[in-house]
Amino acid sequence: MSIQVSTTINGDRVDFICEADESLLDALRNRVGLTGAKEGCGTGDCGACSVSLDGRIVCSCLVLGAEAEGRGIDTIEGMSDGAILHPLQRKFLEHGALQCGICTPGFLMAAQAVLKKNPNPSEEEIRFGLAGNLCRCTGYDKIVRAVQDAALEMRGA
Amino acid sequence: MPLDTAFTGQKFASVGTRPIRPDGIDKVTGRARYGADTTAPGQLVGLILRSPHAHARIKKIDISKAEKLPGVKAVLTSADLPDLTEGDKSMFDVLENCMARTTVFYEGHAVAAVAAIDAKTAKQALKLIKVDYEILPHVTDVDEAMSPKAPVLHPKMFTIGMEPRPKKASNIAKRTEYGHGDVEAGFAEADHIIKESFKTEQTHQGYIEPHACLATIGPDGQGELWVCTQGHFVYRNTCAQLLGMDVAKLKVTASEIGGGFGGKTHVWAEPVALALSRKANRPVKIVMSREEVFRASGPTSSTSIDVKIGVKNDGTITAAQAELRYQGGPYLGMWAELGAMTSFACYDLKNVKSVGYEVLVNRPKVAAYRAPSAPMAAFAVESVIDDLARKIGMDPIAFRIKNAAKQGTKSSYGPVYGPIGIGPTLEAAQNHPHMKAPLGKNQGRGMACGFWFNFGGQTCTDINIGIDGTVSLTVGTIDVGGSRAALSLVAAEELGVPYSQIKCNIADTGSLGHNDMTDGSRGTFSSSMATVFAARNAIKVLRDRAAQMMEIPVDDVVWEDGHAKAKGDSHGNLAPLSLKDIAAAAGNTGGPIAGHNEIVADGAGVSFATHICDVEVDPETGSTKVLRYTVIQDAGKAVHPTYVEGQYQGGAAQGIGWALNEEYIYGKDGRLQNAGFLDYRMPVCSDLPFIDTVILEIPNPNHPYGVRGVGETSIVPPLGAIGNAVSNAIGIRMNHAPMSPPRILKAIEGAKKH
Amino acid sequence: MAEIHLWGALRPAAGGASSVEVEAADIREMFRKLEERYPGMASHIARGVAVSINGKIYRDSWSEKLPGDAEIYLLPRIQGG
């Protein structure tokens, strides 16, 4: 059964059609063409599909496409301000906080959510705030340092 | 004429700096395209039907109903994949692993596939395929599979490497042996002997990106494959052979790769996607689910290892012996053999003997996982080394330094070592501040050494100078962790231009000559060597063009600081020519300017590392927290230090997960019980501390910049380091990895009773 | 004359010897002479044999010279991950 969904993605009005049982992740990737969110597991365990739904970070593989109706979605594609990278994006690059980069969109979304909730987190708070995202390449060291550095800059310190 | 690859000891302007990687913005904005991120007009969804049984004979497959379902464009079985392997057994194993022929050998083994207009139809079609199985008894444990009563996977498997050759078929595919000297005499000389047995469970490389590809074959037999892979040329060769295509007619484009670690050096669903596309005459996209990745790609071996080492009171090891039993899934590989080769490679031993048994079981086909087979052997050996040190009252690092291999040592796998770095890593460990950090209650410190080979391999590189003097560097080794940045630095160094003037691309198989895979820690090592020589060839051309422009003999032109300069007093007033100047005149002086290099970057050295770690074990839950972790490894020359640190940290994290929590859990039904990230527990951010790295730079004499391979070695010491740390924390030797909370609790409870 | 050390799996083809002597200037000549004298080695060589020359491992280069006094060791061709 097909459902017509009318939603806002990264500030733009978007309409798409999806199956009733289709995930928001699949709808974003296959219907809207936004492939920044990745499927790493399909079961909400790896965070590679993280997007923001009405300002709240979610695993888009655990949300139905139909649930996007009338709501606001933010994805990695909307994180930078035109050509101006978000401080988190810049710090990830400066610190080498990515190797293969597949988990990076999810981590950036999750880190943004952590800093939105707490602009001055401790190392432990960062680590637990990011514990819903799996990275297999970096051992998380440079990711945490990048988030700490971005938080510093964003606080204007 | 062979190229001079010798290390030159030059000072560097670009190499060793930390610029932003060229693919960086794409990766932080979601623009980068990975295996599943592309589409083609008319593409079909491909899905694979997999065996629910661990071991069964396929009596019949009825695809008729599936074929008739509207929207289904092709249904595939092994009948559509004729055997074109011409007696090449290992290629046949690849073919059969991609699609079972008469027998399924593990739960998850592919038996059929469909291509349909959407996922819903494809799923329905799979349900309509009727497979008639005759279920056979199965075996999944490596030691059980060796027992004479075990169900035998291959009725014609008679162990290779045993004299006399057994007449009864078994699951022991091969026996190999390495070593030298006389271990019995050595043990007779020992004052203390420790003998211990170890087990390690099966783990998966755990790359976050599942295998994904988009395959298109046209009616003219030409095809294209977009795929995440560590080796697109190797994938091309394998797929072309299995499908009976000409290699040059199959163009493989490597997508960005979301992790490989050895698991993407073999084909899994790609030949199936190509065969479906050929049958349906439409593009077919196959994306494996996470569950499929666990059940049906290539995890590493589970093992059972016995180690016996003898030592004199003065700390000299007199003999070392190991028997290593590794399972390879249903097919013969060289897993136990690699374990046998590497187990004692860190040490200078007069008497050593390692015997390896390749054992077959009803589990998925084992694939390489970052320094394949070495971590398990190191877990066993480094644990016994620590126990021996304790027995004779010697500091564990001092004991290792005393017995460490050095230049001139006959290695445990045969050849004599040239200059090697294990001594320096041990000394650096001894002097590292980590060793002085205080330890509290329930906390323990452990250290371990590790060894791995590095490879060179077939490599080629193109440098093309654009009309504006900017440089295209085209390479054929996949970038798994930032190598495009490192290679750009090398090109910048050789050409004497800024890093920002170089753009590094990874060519598809139609645009460059063959390149071996990015494995064996060879990506930056071999492509950087080829880049150096390609740049030097480009410089020869640039000097010649400059000579024409300046109207002087080419011998009077030198290349310095990115410019062609006239040397000698007679040319005093000739201004230097930049790359941009020379490129602008290229059309007049002979055409496009390029430098190529095709080499076998052979003669790569070996790699050693020492790790130190501190843990705290909660005696009530058995849970282990890693407090401190330090990696010390020789990189020869760190081209881009950030990405070398990244390799050290990433390998350590994988090893920590392997040591503490990751394992394949099989039920009595022979089915994998934990085929997902929830219950296959890899380290998350809150599990780990910052991982300290020390990059030693002892130049590799066989590379112009002294570069050594770095990617794999850092996964070898962690199991031993964590094993020693946990054992020190609880006062009990742990001999079964992963040392998960239930195992630690069991050990603690068991010790209380005695 | 170069002394070529054999890893375990090659020894049966050489009648159980752990090393053999061969006159060869480079890797290719060595393999050719070994195959001629010990036909049982041919299948291993076809599958891929790595050659260690003074501790450095060569997996492919036929033209690599065998220095007179070098320690030469034949090993299975290893794969990484």
B600 contacts C61? CB cut-off 8 A: yes
Distance, CA of B510 to CA of B226 (rounded, Å): 13
B30 contacts A35? CB cut-off 8 A: yes
In angstroms, the separation between the Cα of residue C20 and the nearest Cα of chain B is 15
Tally of CA atoms within 13 A in the half-sphere of A126 that contains its CB: 26
For chain B positions 247-276, those within 8 Å of chain A (CB to CB) are: 256-261
Query: How large is the average pLDDT for residues A63-70?
Result: 98
Distance, CA of B275 to CA of B58 (rounded, Å): 21
B34 contacts A102? CB cut-off 8 A: yes
The pLDDT score that the predictor gives to residue B1 is 44
Distance, CA of B14 to CA of B531 (rounded, Å): 14
Cβ pairs bridging A and B (under 8 Å): 175
Burial class (CB in 10 A: 0-12, 13-18, 19+), A156: exposed
Distance, CA of C20 to CA of B686 (rounded, Å): 56
Place of tokens 């988990």: A103
Beta-carbon contacts of residue B301 (< 8 Å; ≥ 6 apart): B142, B202, B326, B327, B328, B335, B336, B366, B373, B376
Global pTM value: 0.96
Beta-carbon contacts of residue B373 (< 8 Å; ≥ 6 apart): B300, B301, B326, B335, B336, B337, B338, B339, B342
Report H helices in B132-212.
142-146, 183-189
In angstroms, the separation between the Cα of residue B506 and the nearest Cα of chain A is 14
Per residue in C50-72, pLDDT (tens digit) is 898 888 888 777 788 898 888 89
How many percent of chain B have pLDDT more than 70?
100
Helix pair B718-730, B741-752: axis angle to 10 deg: 40
Distance, CA of B163 to CA of B140 (rounded, Å): 27
Instruction: Return the sign of the alpha-carbon dihedral for residues C8, C9, C13, C19.
Output: negative
- The strand order across the sheet containing A2-9 reads A12-19, A2-9, A72-74, A50-53, A56-59
* Interface predicted TM-score (ipTM) of this complex, two decimals: 0.98
The pLDDT score that the predictor gives to residue B692 is 98
Q: Between the CA of residue A156 and those of A87, A94, A145, A149, A150, what are the distances in Å?
A: 11, 18, 17, 11, 10
Going by C-alpha positions, the residue among B658, B724, B656 that lies closest to residue B687 is B656
Instruction: Return the sign of the alpha-carbon dihedral for residues B538, B542, B543, B547.
Output: positive
- The strand order across the sheet containing B606-617 reads B443-453, B606-617, B624-634, B691-696
The pLDDT score that the predictor gives to residue B121 is 97
Burial class (CB in 10 A: 0-12, 13-18, 19+), B86: exposed
C59 contacts B602? CB cut-off 8 A: yes
B603 contacts C64? CB cut-off 8 A: yes
Cβ pairs bridging B and C (under 8 Å): 105
Query: How large is the average pLDDT for residues B471-481?
Result: 93
Instruction: Return the sign of the alpha-carbon dihedral for residues B155, B156, B161, B164.
Output: positive
Query: How large is the average pLDDT for residues A115-128?
Result: 98
pLDDT at C79 exceeding the cut of 80: no
Q: What is the DSSP letter of B63?
A: -
Task: Report the residue of chain B nearest A51, measured CA to CA.
Answer: B30
User: Residue A131: which of B18, B28, B685 has the nearest Cβ?
Assistant: B685
Three-class secondary structure of residue B543 per DSSP: helix
Q: What is the DSSP string of chain C?
A: -EEEEE-GGGGGGGTT-SEEEE--SBHHHHHHHHHHH-GGGHHHHHH-EEEEETTEEESS-TT-B--TT--EEEEEPP---
Q: How far apart are the first and last CA of chain A?
A: 53
Per residue in B669-706, pLDDT (tens digit) is 999 999 999 999 999 999 999 999 999 998 888 889 99
C81 contacts B372? CB cut-off 8 A: yes
| Chain B hits for C7, Cβ within 8 Å | 178, 413-414
Cα B584 vs. chain centroid, distance in angstroms?
43
Using a threshold of 3 CB pairs under 8 A, tell whether chains A and B touch. Answer: yes
Confidence of residue B746 (pLDDT cuts 50, 70, 90): very high
A85 contacts B25? CB cut-off 8 A: yes
User: Residue B24: which of A45, A93, A134 has the nearest Cβ?
Assistant: A93
Distance, CA of A121 to CA of A115 (rounded, Å): 7
Place of tokens 């760190």: B638
Per residue in B162-209, pLDDT (tens digit) is 888 899 999 999 999 999 999 999 999 999 999 999 999 999 999 999
In angstroms, the separation between the Cα of residue B728 and the nearest Cα of chain A is 24
B605 contacts C56? CB cut-off 8 A: yes
Residue type, B211: H
The pLDDT score that the predictor gives to residue A122 is 98
Per residue in B272-321, pLDDT (tens digit) is 999 999 999 999 999 999 999 999 999 999 999 999 999 999 999 999 99
Per residue in B525-539, pLDDT (tens digit) is 899 999 999 999 999
Instruction: Among A51-60, B515-524, B632-641, name the most confident range.
Output: A51-60
Per residue in B112-138, pLDDT (tens digit) is 999 999 999 999 999 999 999 999 999
In angstroms, the separation between the Cα of residue A112 and the nearest Cα of chain B is 13
C63 within 8 A of B503, measured Cβ to Cβ:
no
Adjacent-strand bridge partners of B446 = B613
Distance, CA of B364 to CA of B109 (rounded, Å): 7
Strands of chain A, DSSP E: 2-9, 12-19, 50-53, 56-59, 72-74
